[in-house]
């Protein structure tokens, strides 16, 4: 039975953390984007995020945040959420689920502890800004 289940591989869809100026906070903050670098539109997109890890020997975790997007067009980006400075010291996990046609895709993207930082940036495809990419 299990051999009959086909789990499609997620390709050309990834997450990127980009540092941008925020007029609300009057400072640079990190925003996480969902990047669709594929030739297909993503339909019924759901992103569930959380942060978890240990700080000073104490286990910490955040509540779940859920984001829904009707469509993410091919070769485009969509801003998902701001990552608060204090949770950069934790693992930041984003579970992404979407449809291409009638096929359901899902993948877990994790920004490991302290990997979201200015020294780890590179140019993000499609967005053309420097950021930290997780594929």
- pLDDT at position 73 over 90: yes
Q: Does residue 7 carry a pLDDT above 80?
A: no
Task: Give the β-pairing of 103-111 and 13-22.
Answer: unpaired
Q: Model's pTM, two decimal places?
A: 0.93
- Give me the mean pLDDT over the 62-82 stretch: 97
Superfamily of chain region 2-114: Immunoglobulins (2.60.40.10)
Lowest mean pLDDT among 1-5, 114-118, 126-130: 1-5
Nearest to 10 by CA among 98, 93, 116: 98
Q: What is the pLDDT of residues 23-52, one digit of tens each?
A: 988 999 999 999 999 999 999 999 999 999
Domain regions of the chain by residue span: 2-114
């Amino acid at each position: 039975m299990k051999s009959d289940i086909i789990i499609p591989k997620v390709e050309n869809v990834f997450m990127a953390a980009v540092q941008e100026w925020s007029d609300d906070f009057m400072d640079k903050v990190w925003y996480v984007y969902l990047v669709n670098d594929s030739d297909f539109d993503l339909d019924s997109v759901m992103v569930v995020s959380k942060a978890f890890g240990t700080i000073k020997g104490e286990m910490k975790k955040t509540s779940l945040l859920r984001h829904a997007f009707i469509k993410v067009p091919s070769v485009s980006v969509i801003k998902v959420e701001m990552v608060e400075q204090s949770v950069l010291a934790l693992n930041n996990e984003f579970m992404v689920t979407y449809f291409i046609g009638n096929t359901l895709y899902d993948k877990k993207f994790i920004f490991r502890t302290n990997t979201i930082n200015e020294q780890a940036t590179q140019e993000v495809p499609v967005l053309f800004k420097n950021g930290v990419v997780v594929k």
